[in-house]
Amino acid sequence: MAYRVYAMDFSFYNSMGIYSFEARCEMLKEIGYDAMHLSIWHGERWRDAAKLSSVKQKYGLDVASVYVVLDLSLGENHPRNEGILKLLGSLEGCSTVELAIQSVGRNIRPSDPAGDDIAVKWLEKALKICERRNINILLYTHLSFWIERHEDALRLCRRLNHPNLGIVFCGFHWYAVDGTNLPAILGAVAPYLKQVNLSGSRRNPHGFGDIATIEPLDEGELDNFALLGQLKKIGFNGMIGFQGWSEGGDAYSKLSRSLRAFRDMERRLEAHPHWAELNLLP
């Protein structure tokens, strides 16, 4: 089975600016992607959200998801956080929202369960909207954010046990935060796993967060072939995206490289699934 793929729109950012919404969609369609993605952040790109409803008709692409950042240290009723609820109530052309929870309080550190009650209170309110509108919230792990580890997302999913709440597995953030115990982590999150994003990466003090780089899939030390093998082993059949943050440069060229590399990984896994079975020691 060939996975359906999308590119996160971070791939279209560079030091000179951001490619237009229209150019992004046209490039993705021409390269051969199945879907596009939109980062709205704290609400900075609302105008582009209104364009999502016409993406399928205009470009022949699906919309994989939109990405938003929740910061409850600002207060539950802060306009940024209220804006996410408004988005859930008005979003058209997309049924998936990736939610990165940056903070739940000024004195609560990443992964601290002391923030669970605060996050759950907001999520319960958001999920009531999702029920009415058939929208899924996927918790997005992120280096240095309160939801930093996939175990944090899993803890909330288990507590809320809501059909509209799931998890995105973020290959880079798993690698940068820990990078170990992949089979156990994927096995644990499997019941809630709805999407995956991947990137090439290598440990480097000049990388993102002074920890690791984000690169096209044909670069780096992170073994995405083995990672993909583990995803197949747990039966994951959702959409897979490519991260692209901070890659910069010619987006078309790098997205083409990533897609070619990914399809070649699929080909090899189909023919030789045992190649992806790694041992911890030589």
Predicted structure pTM score: 0.96
Residue 227: which domain range? 5-276
User: Cα torsion at 55, 57, 62, 66 (round to 10°)?
Assistant: 20
Q: Which residue has the tokens 């190649």?
A: 275
Q: What's the confidence (pLDDT) of residue 281? A: 61
Q: Which of 188, 194, 187 is nearest to 170 (CA)?
A: 194
Assess if residue 176 is contained within a domain.
yes
Assess if residue 124 is contained within a domain.
yes
Rg (CA), the chain: 18
What average pLDDT does the chain have?
95
Using the predicted structure, report yes or no on whether residue 45 has a pLDDT greater than 90: no
More confidently predicted of 1 and 89: 89
Assess if residue 253 is contained within a domain.
yes
pLDDT mean over 197-216: 94
DSSP state of 163: T
If one counts the domains in the chain, the total is: 1
Assess if residue 130 is contained within a domain.
yes
pLDDT in tens, 235-274: 999 999 999 998 999 999 999 999 999 999 999 999 999 9
Assess if residue 145 is contained within a domain.
yes
Contact 6, 34 (CB under 8 A): yes
Assess if residue 26 is contained within a domain.
yes
pLDDT mean over 87-114: 96
Structure tokens at 188: 């644990």
More confidently predicted of 1 and 146: 146
Q: Around Cβ 264, how many Cβ atoms within 10 Å?
A: 13
Cα torsion angle, 123, 127, 129, 133, sign:
positive
Assess if residue 228 is contained within a domain.
yes
In this structure, what CATH number is given to the domain that contains residue 40? 3.20.20.150
Q: What's the confidence (pLDDT) of residue 226? A: 96
Assess if residue 282 is contained within a domain.
no
